[in-house]
Chain A
Amino acid sequence: MSSTTNPPAHHTSTIGAIGAPSRRNTELALLVFAVVIPVFAYANVGLAINDSVPPGLLSYGVGLGLLAGVGHLVVRKFAPYADPLMLPLATLLNGIGLVVIWRLDQSKRLQASSSFVEAAPRQLLYSAMGVALLVVVLIFLKDHRVLQRYTYISMAGALFLLILPLVPGLGANIYGAKIWIKIPGLGTLQPGEFAKIILAVFFAGYLMVKRDALALASRRFMGLYLPRGRDLGPILVVWVISILILVFETDLGTSLLFFGMFVIMLYVATERTSWIVFGLLMSAVGAVGVASFEPHIQTRVQAWLDPMREFELSRAGVQDGIVHSEQAMQALWAFGSGGTLGTGLGQGNSDLIGFAANSDFILATFGEELGLAGVMAILLLYGLIVERGVRTALAARDPFGKLLAIGLSGAFALQVFVVAGGVMGLIPLTGMTLPFVAYGGSSVIANWALIGILLRISDTARRPAPAPATSPDAEMTQVVRPGNSDPAGM
C-alpha cells in the first residue's frame, strides 16, 4: 500500500504483545475428551461383537485416564508452557489404537491362527512404558540444548542401533526384513525406532554448525543453487548409509525415513531448494538400483504394482521361492468395503488380512470400520501433531531446537506417510508401524519419547522471556525528587 494515497492519520498499524498463556487447563479439558472417545469406541466394539458392554470397560478407561493424568501432571509441573495439543492428540491416537487392537483380538479368524496372542494387554503395558519414558524425558531433560553436546556420540549411538539387527545371533529376520533384535525372555525390539530420535539429535547438531557452509558456498545454475562438490559429502554419506540399510536389512521404510529426515533438515537449515531436488533424485536412483537385485524388495514392488496377481499366486499356493502375500489386496478391499462412513467398529472383515493386521495393516481396519470419514480424521490428528511440531520449530529461539523439532516432526510425518501410503497402495509396502496406533512396543515407546522432547522444546520456546533486570546505571542516575519521599509525612 503506498503511503501517498492514505491520509497519515489513518495510516497506522498497531503492534501489541500477546503473552503466551500456559494453556494447561485447555490441555486437561482436551485430555478428558481424548480419554472419553476411546472409551466410547471400546463400548461400541463390545456391543457390536458380543452384544454387551465389555467387562473391562471401567479398567480400560481408568488405565488410559491414569496414563493421561500422569502425563498431564508431569507436564504441568515440569513443562508448564508446553504446547497444549500434543499430549491430547497422542493420547487419543494411542487410545483408539488400543481399542482397535483389542477389537482384532476378538476376531475368531485371528484367534484360530497358530501365532495368536492377546495383543491389547501388552500394548497397554507398552503404552504405560511409553508414558513413563515421556515422564523421564520431561523430568531429566531440563533443557533440550543439552543434547547438542552429544552430537557425535548420538551419531555413533544411532549407527550402533542401526547395525544391531545385523549382528548374528541377535538380529531376527521376520518376514524378510531384518530390523528387529531378539532379547531373550523379553521378546523383540526394533532399534530403528529409537535410532530415529537419536539421529535427529545428530543431524540437528551437525547442521547447526555446518549450515552456513552448505547454504552460502554455491553456484547458481538454472534457477537452482548448486552446492560445491565437497559440500555434497554429508548428504552422500547419509545416502550411502541408507542404501546399506536397504540392502542389508531389506527395509525400504527405515531407509526412506532416515534419508528423508536428513533431506528435510538440510532444506530447513540451508533454505536451498536444490537439496530437495538432489534428495529426491538420489532416493529414486537408490531405490531403483537396489530393487533391481534384491528379491525381497522386488516382491514388494510387484505386490504394489499388481496386488491382485500376488493375491491369486498366494491363493494358488505357488511355490517359487518368493513369499507371495494376499495382504496388500485384502487391505485395499478393506478400504473399499468401508466406503465413506465405514461398517462400524467391530463389524468389518479386515481380520482377513491375517498376520500383521494389528500392526502394519492397522490402518486398513480403520478404513473398513470407520470409512473415509474416520481415516481422514485419523490422518488429520497426525497432521495436527506434525503441525504443532513445526509450530514449535518456528517458535523456538535457538537454531538447534528449531532443527531438532523440525527433524522429529518431519520423521513423524514421513513415518505416517510411508505406512499409510504403503497400506493404501500409493508406494510399495514396507514394514513400518503407524505411530501410537499400531501394535508394537518399540514404536509406541519411542514415539512417546519423541513427544516428550517436542514438549520440552515447545516449553522452552513458549516460556515468556524474563523481565529485564533494571540496569544498575538506571538505578544510579535516578533523580531524587524531594516531594516523593518526604520523611515528615511518616
Chain B
Amino acid sequence: MSELTLTVMRLGFLAVLWLFVIVAVQVIRSDLFGTRVTQRGARREAGRQQQAARQAPPQQRQQPAGGRRGRNAPTKLVVTEGTLTGTTVALQGQTITLGRAHDSTIVLDDDYASSRHARIYPDRDGQWIVEDLGSTNGTYLDRTRLTTPTPIALGAPIRIGKTVIELRK
C-alpha cells in the first residue's frame, strides 16, 4: 500500500475520531434540560423590541384553548415581591409548581416556603387555579389562606412567605 494512502488514512482516522468527540459534545449542548432562564441583564438591550412585540400578542402561543379563553386570559405569571422579583413564567397550559424543591418550576429561596408548596394549573376551561399542596405556612390569595383549589383573578396577589406572584395578561 502506498505511503500516501496510509498517511491519508492515518490523518483521516484521527479526523473522524475527533469529529465523533465534537459531535458528542454538540449533542450534550443540545441536551440541556430542566428550566430555561433568560438572564435579567441580557434583556435590557432587546427591551424595546420586546415591548413592541408584546403589544401585538403572539397568536401561536395561545394554544388549544385559545378560542375559549377570550381576551382576559392571562399569558404570564410574574413575581412581584421577594428575592425572585421580576421573574416571569409564560403560561402555556403547563402546570407550574412552586416550592423549595429544586425541580419546581419556580424554586423559592424563602424560609417560609415548603419544598412542594403550591401549584398553579389550568382547569379544563383554561381557568387558572392555585392549589396549596399542604404547605406548612400556607398560601394566601389576596388576604385569605387557601384551603381548596381556587381560581385566580388577573392581578390578584398570591403570597407564599415573602414572595408574591400574580397573573398578568
Any chain A CB within 8 A of the CB of B55? no
Given contacts A370-B13, A397-B103, A473-B148, contact A18 B18 (CB under 8 A): no
- Once the chains bind, are A85 and B27 in contact (CB under 8 Å)? yes
Partner of A13, one of B10, B21, B34, B40: B40
Identify which of residues 315-363 in chain A touch chain B, using a CB-to-CB cut-off of 8 Å.
341-345, 347
Partner of A14, one of B16, B23, B87, B94: B87
Which of B41-49, B135-143, B153-161 forms part of the interface with chain A? B41-49
- Once the chains bind, are A47 and B88 in contact (CB under 8 Å)? no
- Once the chains bind, are B94 and A341 in contact (CB under 8 Å)? no
Any chain B CB within 8 A of the CB of A426? no
Given contacts A14-B38, A381-B21, A470-B123, contact A8 B86 (CB under 8 A): yes
- Once the chains bind, are A92 and B18 in contact (CB under 8 Å)? no
Interface string of A113-140 (1 = CB under 8 A from B): 0000000000000000000000000000
Q: How far is the CA of A12 from the CA of B85 in the complex (A)?
A: 8
Q: Which residue of B lies closest to A47 (CB)?
A: B1
Any chain A CB within 8 A of the CB of B52? no
- Once the chains bind, are A19 and B33 in contact (CB under 8 Å)? yes
- Once the chains bind, are A92 and B40 in contact (CB under 8 Å)? no
Chain B contacts for A373, CB-based, 8 A: 14, 18
Chain A contacts for B47, CB-based, 8 A: 9-10
Partner of B148, one of A1, A9, A470, A477: A477
Partner of B6, one of A15, A344, A484: A344
Chief secondary structure at chain B's binding surface = mixed
- Once the chains bind, are B41 and A1 in contact (CB under 8 Å)? yes
Q: Which residue of B lies closest to A383 (CB)?
A: B21
From residue B25, how far is it (CB to closest CB) to chain A in Å?
Answer: 7
- Once the chains bind, are A387 and B36 in contact (CB under 8 Å)? no
From residue A100, how far is it (CB to closest CB) to chain B in Å?
Answer: 12
Chain B contacts for A465, CB-based, 8 A: 103
From residue B111, how far is it (CB to closest CB) to chain A in Å?
Answer: 19
Besides A16-B90, A342-B10, A374-B14, 13 other A-B contacts (C-beta < 8 A): A6-B40, A12-B78, A12-B86, A15-B88, A17-B36, A40-B12, A40-B13, A341-B11, A344-B9, A373-B14, A377-B18, A381-B21, A473-B149
Task: Offer 24 A-B interface pairs, CB within 8 angstroms, sorted by A.
Answer: A3-B85, A3-B86, A9-B47, A14-B87, A15-B89, A17-B35, A17-B36, A30-B24, A40-B13, A44-B6, A44-B10, A48-B1, A48-B9, A341-B11, A345-B13, A347-B6, A347-B10, A378-B17, A384-B24, A388-B28, A468-B119, A468-B121, A477-B149, A478-B123
Interface residues of A (CB under 8 A from B): 1, 3, 6, 8-20, 23, 26, 30, 33-34, 36-37, 40-41, 44, 47-48, 51, 84-85, 88-89, 92, 341-345, 347, 370-371, 373-374, 377-378, 380-381, 384, 387-388, 391, 395, 397, 462, 465, 467-468, 470-471, 473-474, 477-478, 484
